[in-house]
Amino acid sequence: YYSEADASHCISQILESVNHIHQHDIVHRDLKPENLLLASKMKGAAVKLADFGLAIEVQGDQQAWFGFAGTPGYLSPEVLRKDPYGKPVDIWACGVILYILLVGYPPFWDEDQHKLYQQIKAGAYDFPSPEWDTVTPEAKNLINQMLTINPAKRITAEQALKHPWVCHRSTVASMMHRQETVECLRKFNARRKLKGAILTTMLVSRNFSVGRRRANSAAAASSTASLAQEACKSLLNKKSDSAKPSTNNSKNSIVSAINALKDTNMATNAQMV
């Protein structure tokens, strides 16, 4: 059973994690299904952010050019335009993820990367029939606010957590089973060869692809083993022209990120027992 309410719960967990790192002035820059893990196989398990290899530290709402980084289908318009950017890039990626969670395919797609980037920069996505006909207007509204081209007008993680579709899911989000979405998610997983990703775990927890459960868990454990080291190196080895001077606050935010990664690793190891 998979409904819009399940997608709401999932994106809520992701937004909680994103809001946490944003409060500590860390921008992930590479949010995608492959970098999201569940703490356990239980329904409603906490989502953990993984792979902080491209993460950067910023000063509050600082916008600057920190270099081209991310995964093509999840890049924001400002990154593609090589404009100054900051925390809003993570929200754009969350919008792409939410779109996928609801229908099983991404809002922007083209075999030609140049055409893909043109779509993203233009914000050229829609809600085609028939799959979107059964999605509530509130869900579409949240996606629209996340996929707003102007980063200054894009919803923040904190604001998104207060959106009716997220905080009042029991009365706003549809409980109708989305069988077509489940089938599309399975195809999406196979196409992207996701291992240990949140979408795969969600399907496994509903008795899909049971035979691959241990393989996915093993891949997740392997991929997260060195995350703390990568995050530490990435956040500490910043050049002086692209990162703020080290302060007690910045050190604390680095520690928070590493502790979160340790929690991810421990949770993943627990899955293997």
Res 168: pLDDT: 87
Indicate whether 261 pLDDT > 50: no
Query: Tens of pLDDT along 74-117?
Result: 999 999 999 999 999 999 999 999 999 998 899 998 889 999 99
Q: From CA 2, how far away is CA 198, in angstroms rounded?
A: 14
Query: What one-character DSSP code corresponds to residue 33?
Result: G
% the chain with pLDDT above 90: 47
* Helices marked H in the chain: 4-23, 77-80, 88-103, 113-122, 137-146, 157-161, 164-167, 169-172, 179-192, 198-204, 213-224, 227-236, 248-272
Phi first, then psi: what are they for 201, rounded to 5°? -65, -40
| Alpha-carbon gap, residue 106 to 238, rounded angstroms | 33
Instruction: Report pTM.
Output: 0.68
Of 273, 195, 222, 270, give the one whose Cα is nearest residue 39.
270
Is-catalytic flag, 30?
yes
pLDDT of residue 248: 46
Residue 246, CA atoms < 13 Å, CB-side half-sphere: 9
Which class would CATH give 4-272?
Answer: mainly alpha
Residue 270 scores a pLDDT above 50: no
Q: At what angle do helices 179-192 and 88-103 cross, to 10 degrees?
A: 120
Give the H/E segment covering residue 37. strand 36-38
d(CA 17, CA 36): 10
Lookup: tokens for 24: 């500590």
216: CB partners within 8 A, 6+ apart: 195, 196, 200, 201, 204
Q: Which one of 25, 30, 51, 90 is the catalytic residue?
A: 30
Of 5, 58, 59, nearest to 29 (Cα)?
58
Distance, CA of 222 to CA of 28 (rounded, Å)? 20
Q: What is the pLDDT of residues 169-216, one digit of tens each?
A: 888 776 666 667 667 677 666 666 544 455 545 544 544 333 344 444
Which helix (H) or strand (E) segment is 26 a member of? strand 26-27
Q: What is the C-alpha separation between 95 and 82, in angstroms, rounded?
A: 20
